[in-house]
Amino acid sequence: MGMSTITASRIYKGQKAGLMGEDAELTFDEFPHMSLSKTYALDKQTSDSANTATAFLCGVKANYGTLGVNGKVLYENCNSSKDNSTYLQSILEWAQEDRKSTGFVTSTRVTHATPAGLYAHTASRYWEFESPDGDHECPDIALQLIKYIPGKNIQVILGGGREAFFPNNELDVETKEKGKRTDRRYLIDEWLSDKKRISTRVRYVTNMTYLRSVRPEETDYLLGLLEYDNMPYELDRPKEEKKPAIWEMTDKAIRILKKNPNGFFLLVEGGRIDHAHHDGIAKKALEETVAMDKAIELALSLTDTEDTLIVVTADHSHTMTISGYPELGNNILGTVVSDENNVEYTVLSYANGPGYNTSRDNFGNNITLGNEYKQLATFYLDSETHAGEDVPVFAIGPMAHLFQGVHDQSYIPHAMSFAACIGPNKELCNDAVKLASHTILPFLPLYFYGLSFLKEMV
């Protein structure tokens, strides 16, 4: 969700509502504070979703493909990750230590890179359901979610990815596909058994019908594995059937977590924006972004910006651009014709990806508006790549002013933890509050004290 995706999604949202589009607004456009986040990895100019998740959730830059570990751990090198001194705590674990409720919602698998950055420590984001060569000293991501701290203490887990939680000799309850685990473990049963020792208010759900039946006031723990693999794209989601939208999962999560008087931490990931870009299908990426925007709007309505900090950002950008000189109000998914060369091309295009094979001379019958249309790409790759430019960070709520200027991605969780007085910034935050209470202008010392510390941390 880089800047070009945000701009195009704003126009797309407006045009869906019958406006020209450029005059529309996304919910987070109105957030009062904004900064830019530098997304590079320790070993790559352009990052993947694992090392970036480590940065914006754990506050430390990491190597490409690694999760929840520092730079000593090398990608797909199990031996380098066996020393638990390389393990990093995430902001979710800091929140748990402060007795806050925690949860996450994702439109991908719950073991995918971004959510796994909350709870996993691994040399490879791809070890979702088995460790390399069965090495038990490098446990798989699903196992860490169910059996290890902080994963086992997460109260709300909603997304796809049932495949990683049951054996490969058993069939999925809905798709009838086989599980992926080779260790024959039923991790869902293990989760239920563990949670029922703690509370009688435990629910496991597999579809929208069951999710809708969950009563937040009667639920302490909720595991929703709502799809065998990733959740369906919003454009492909059967509206009358069993697949919830991201805002519906967000609604349920907030209503459960907000019961805790100590507060809560919730990560909401619109992860299929990324997948659609990799496929070169801009329409699906924009539709996913608009769905994410609706989840943000709902989160604002269920919380109070007097006590809740909401931060909206991306782990990285993509190579999609908005180009040419189309007239104001031109369909963002449409085409434009060059006046000088009389060449027609799509307004949205990619620097690389499968769209290279898209026809360059047949734009009839509004073909570019189709749900599966792949925008033009400059050169061919099976999957479009990420892009390396800075991504925006939007913030509203307590201490939102800490998000300004240009900073490393690893700054983000430190700023959030300072706002919440949790984690490594807890004592400093408390000291700053005491200092502020003895001055006529309380926000000035609090602001500069906090900002100075955060720069040192990153």
* Catalytically active residues, by annotation: 49
CB-based contact 128:141 (threshold 8 Å): yes
Omega of the bond leading into 150 within 30 degrees of 0 (cis): yes
- The answer to whether 392 and 53 have CB atoms below 8 angstroms apart is no
- In sequence order, the 6+-apart residues with CB closer than 8 A to the CB of 226 are 158, 159, 160, 205, 206, 207, 208, 211, 243, 244, 249
Q: Can you say whether residue 317 is alpha, beta or left, with left for phi > 0 and alpha for psi between -120 and 50 degrees?
A: beta
Strands 405-408 and 33-38: parallel
Are the C-beta atoms of 247 and 84 separated by less than 8 Å? no
Helix, strand, or coil (residue 397): coil
Work out the angle at residue 422's Cα, subtended by the Cα atoms of residues 42 and 144, and round it to the nearest 5 degrees.
60
| 102 φ, ψ (degrees, to nearest 5) | -135, 155
Nearest Cα to 91, choosing from 436, 433, 419, 429?
A: 419
8 A C-beta contact, residue 194 and residue 152: yes
| Helices and strands in the chain, H and E counts | 13, 16
Q: Are 7 and 18 in contact (CB under 8 A)?
A: no
**What is the rounded CA–CA span in Å between residue 184 and residue 194?**
18
